Structure formats: C-alpha cells, structure tokens
Chain A
Amino acid sequence: MSEAWVTILALTVGTAIIRASGPVLLGGRDLPARLQGVIALLAPALLAALVAVQTFGASEGGEYEIDARVVGVGAAAVALRFGGKTLSVVAIAAAATALARLM
C-alpha cells in the first residue's frame, strides 16, 4: 500500500475514534456536578482558542502570521460591537480581508 493510502486510512480511523470518544464515553448519562461545570466551559475556551489560532497563527502552525486576516477579524469585532448580525459580520470580515489583500 502506498504512503498516501496508509496516511488516509490511519487518519480516517483515528479521526473517527476521536470524534466518537466524547459522545460514547460521556453521553447519555448524568455526570457529576463538578464535571458538568468544566464541560459547560469547554465551548468558550475552545471557541476563543480557534479565533486566536485562526487569526494570528500560520496555517501550517508553529509560528505567528500577521496578515490581512487580522484586519478582517478586527472589522468583524467592530461590526459585532455595533450590533451586527452574524451573517453580515462574517461577510464584513471576508470583504475587509479581501480588500486588505488588494491594497
């Protein structure tokens, strides 16, 4: 089997196991209050980290990359501050990024 197919099959199996792990191990039953308190805060922690990494990180990882995305996400933050709705905020982010790349 070629290197490509070994990679694809291993990634498929590994990713499926990772995606199933939380739902299988922790779903469908009552959890202790302390654990629930932690789980309830995973979404804000992960969302904030995704914003940080996708705004300031290089796509291949390992270093910062400050480029037009910062302008776009900054524009989104301003639009949010002034009460913009999600779809318009996201469109503003893409447009501001594209514009900054043109300049």
Chain B
Amino acid sequence: MTGPHFRRGMRIGIPYAIASGLLAVSFGVLAEPVIGGVAAIVMSAIVFAGSAQFAAVAVLAAGGGPAAAIVAGLLLNARYAPMGIALAPSLRGGPLKRAAIGQAMIDFSWAAASRGGGRFDAPFMLGATAPSYPAWVGGTVLGVLAGDVIGDPDALGLDALFPAFFLCLLVEGELRSGLPLVVAALGCVVALALIPLTPAGVPVIAAAAAALLGLRRGAEA
C-alpha cells in the first residue's frame, strides 16, 4: 500500500491537499451556524466530498429540509458512479477491497491517476487522496473552532485551481488521438448546455454519455 506509486501520488497530492484544506476552513465557517460544529466535522470525516457538503448545507441553511439537502448532495456525488466505472477495470482484488478503493475517489486523485486509454494507477490514486483527507477534516475543524481565519478562499483564486488542473490532465493525458478529443468536446458541450437547465451535478453525469461514442470503436476492435 505504500509502494513507489503510492508515494508519488502523495507527493502530487500535497499542493492540492493544501488548497482543499483552505476550502475546508470555509466549509467549517459556513456549516457551523447551520448544522453545528460537531456535525460539520463529522460530515467532513465521513462524507468527504466537498461540493456535495457545500450544497447540502446550503439547502439546509435556506430552510429546504433534509430530503432536498440529501438529493442535492447525492446528485453532485452521482458523478462518482461513472468515475468508478472508469476506474473499475484497473482494480485488482476482491469486491470488498475494490469497494474500499472506491471510497478513496475524489475528483482530483481520480483525474491524476488516469493514464489515458481507460487505464488508472490505483495505488497512485490512493496516495494522491491520502494528504487530502487530513487536510479536509483538519480544515473543517479549524473553520469551526477558529472561524474565518483565512478569509474568502476565492480571493486566492482557488476556485480556478481545480478546473485548470483538470484541463492540464485532459490535454496532456487524454487527448492523444481523435476519438477522445471528439468525446471531450461533446462532453464539454453537453455540460455547458445543461448548466442553466438542470440542478448542480446533472451536467457532469449527463456528459458521461459522450463516452458512448466508444461503442463504435469497440465494435471495430
């Protein structure tokens, strides 16, 4: 579990864990008055999914009730289904071990572990997630206990950091031949078109359907 791939993943993961930790501070600050400090920290520790946590707390803060908050959060996390399907062929071991590895999926580490052509480096992904977990939980604790010590993370441009990172991985890792380029362009168009029409989370899941263009290539292979 701590082989060279895991360690390389960890090294890559540290700068992004710092960014996640800063976002977690703002989550702690926002969530504490809505659900309470203990609940905010427990949520970060056992849900461990930033956008879903922000979305669910925002719904509760607006008086939307738990059912709407759960739906909002799960819609955002539904992208882990296609992400997990993409990861699945690269996993070894029994179903319990595979389920456990799936729990370590976060956008950043999943994307960083992609090797193009549908292959993933699972130990690398575990390593890349490893620094983010204590950073996410620790940042939440800091936000709950110390309050707004960092200020608005958007002032640091953190909200551009992750899309820029995904753009790098897309361009450097995935777009080696024509079909992935077409699929990426289609996924982008689908997601953009659905942003104003659907709740948060749906545009990304719907964009996964662009991968169905691979049916053609599969038939040719």
Q: Is the CB of A4 within 8 A of B34?
A: yes
* Nearest CB of chain B from residue A28's CB, rounded to whole Å: 6
CB-CB under 8 A from B145, the residues of chain A are none
Q: Is the CB of B73 within 8 A of A11?
A: yes
CB-CB under 8 A from A89, the residues of chain B are 164, 167-168
Q: Is the CB of A26 within 8 A of B89?
A: yes
* Nearest CB of chain A from residue B61's CB, rounded to whole Å: 11
Q: Is the CB of B204 within 8 A of A39?
A: no
CB-CB under 8 A from B195, the residues of chain A are 52-53, 56-57, 61-64
B25 CB within 8 Å of chain A: no
Nearest-CB residue, chain B, relative to A19: B102
CA distance A80 to B164 in the complex (A): 10
Interface size on A, residues (CB 8 A): 77
Nearest-CB residue, chain B, relative to A38: B214
A45 CB within 8 Å of chain B: yes
Nearest-CB residue, chain B, relative to A8: B43
Q: 24 A–B contact pairs at CB < 8 A?
A: A3-B69, A4-B35, A4-B66, A7-B70, A8-B47, A11-B49, A22-B83, A22-B102, A24-B98, A34-B215, A44-B187, A47-B170, A48-B207, A49-B204, A52-B191, A61-B200, A62-B196, A69-B160, A72-B161, A76-B168, A90-B168, A95-B157, A99-B157, A101-B155
Give me the 7 closest cross-chain CB pairs, A-B, nearest first.
A61-B200, A22-B84, A37-B218, A40-B118, A72-B160, A97-B157, A93-B164
Q: Is the CB of B118 within 8 A of A48?
A: no
| B window 163-185: CB within 8 A of A | 163-175, 179-181, 183-185
Q: Could you list which residues of chain A lie within 8 angstroms of chain B, going by C-beta atoms?
A: 3-8, 10-12, 14-16, 18-28, 31-57, 59-64, 68-69, 71-73, 76-77, 80, 86-87, 89-90, 92-99, 101
Complex partner residue of B81 from A18, A57, A59, CB under 8 angstroms? A18
Complex partner residue of B210 from A12, A45, A53, A92, CB under 8 angstroms? A45
Q: Is the CB of A18 within 8 A of B118?
A: no
Q: Is the CB of A24 within 8 A of B99?
A: yes
* Nearest CB of chain A from residue B180's CB, rounded to whole Å: 4
CB-CB under 8 A from B146, the residues of chain A are none
Complex partner residue of A62 from B39, B43, B172, B199, CB under 8 angstroms? B199
Nearest-CB residue, chain A, relative to B115: A43
